[in-house]
Amino acid sequence: MSSKDSKELNALNKAQAYQLADITKTPPQYGSITPRWLPRFLEFKPLDSGIYRVNKVIEGDTPLDVLCSSEKKGPEIPDGYVPYQQKPREYVLNSISTIINVDTSIADVYSSPYDQTREQLHLAVESLKERQESQLINNDDYGLLKNIAENQRVNPAQVNGNGSSAPTPDTLDELISKVWKEPSFFLAHPRAVAAFERECTRRGVPPVTANIFGGTFILWRGVPIIPTDKLFVDGQKVPKGKSGKTNILLLRTGESKRGVVGLYQSGLQNEQSRGLSVRFRGVDNNGLASYLLSLYCSAAILADDAIAVLEDVEVGEYYDYNK
């Protein structure tokens, strides 16, 4: 027997020491979780009955007739009234739900150091909130992208004038001209944010940054640009190639500003957070504990000029800055 083999037999090795080692474990790491900035920046309105009616004024070419005169005796004061839309739109809350089942015998035995039920519910809640942000943008009924007025849609190629669809400072300025009454924030895919930064670098006008809600964001004309992967690039959260088309939104938020508002149901039983309910459904004969998770949400655009979109933005234009 060689001296090397003798040392391996007479000394504690790693494989043996591993049997007594106390391993430090992390909770389940869910790579699909994002910061979900949109629900943080969006103002939300609580509902009592799950329905939100947006009453609007019928707007004509001129405002209500009024009299402006310095004469004590002049023409008669015009009379009239401000007409309302006869059939205003009503938004009904959308339900995002799932059921989590946990084997109670497994939870009893294997809940140290992490409670199995708590971790399952945590991951389910994160999944629902990820879906909520996606629905706020892409839902066929109330999603922001599907409800933007035609006159609030901007073609970047027409603004740039050179056939390029890149998100240039000119194109974002055009969005601001559409939502000029106290714009709150831009919303863009991270690839679109990077493309805009390249365009700014190319022109020598790098945007400033600001810390908002604990995150650092770039600003354009004082308006923060908020990233989200729910504004897809070629229909994907994570595009495979360098090029691709996406959209950039600009929003004004808040009911008092006649902007965009998020909607949720208030006063839910077993409410865990805004519009989210977690209910214990009981334990069946096989020892499976069941939990129902429901999140109720929607969004409403109170005025056409509360939101605008830069459509079909190209994110794959790169430059050689040495030339």
pLDDT in tens, the chain (323 residues): 455 555 556 888 888 899 999 999 999 999 999 999 999 999 999 999 999 999 998 876 666 787 787 776 667 888 888 889 999 999 999 999 999 999 999 999 999 999 999 999 999 999 999 999 999 999 999 999 999 999 999 999 999 999 899 999 999 999 999 999 999 999 999 999 999 999 999 999 999 999 999 999 999 999 999 999 999 999 999 998 899 999 999 999 999 999 999 999 999 999 999 999 999 999 999 999 999 999 999 999 999 999 999 999 999 999 987 76
Instruction: Quote the pLDDT of residue 71.
Output: 73
Instruction: Quote the pLDDT of residue 315.
Output: 97
Residue 226 backbone phi and psi in degrees, to 5 = -100, 125
Rounded to an integer, what distance in angstroms lies between the CA atom of residue 158 and that of residue 163? 7
What is the SS3 string spanning the chain? CCHHHHHHHHCCCHHHHCCCCCCCCCCCCCCCCCCCHHHHHCCEEEECCCEEEECCECCCCCCCCCCCCCCCCCCCCCCCCCCECCCCEEEECEEEEEEEEEEHHHHHHCCCCCCHHHHHHHHHHHHHHHHHHHHHHHCCCCCHHHHCCHHHEECHHHHHCCCCCCCCHHHHHHHHHHCCCCCCEEEECHHHHHHHHHHHHHHCCCCCEEEECCEEEEEECCEEEEECCCCCECCECCCCCCCCEEEEEEECECCCCCCEEEEEECCCCCEEECCEEEEEEEECCCCEEEEEEEEEEEEEECCHHHEEEEEEEECCCCCCCCC
Instruction: Quote the pLDDT of residue 159.
Output: 96
Domains, the chain, ordered by start = 151-260+303-314 (3.30.1930)
The one-letter code for the residue type at 25 is: K
Instruction: Quote the pLDDT of residue 189.
Output: 98
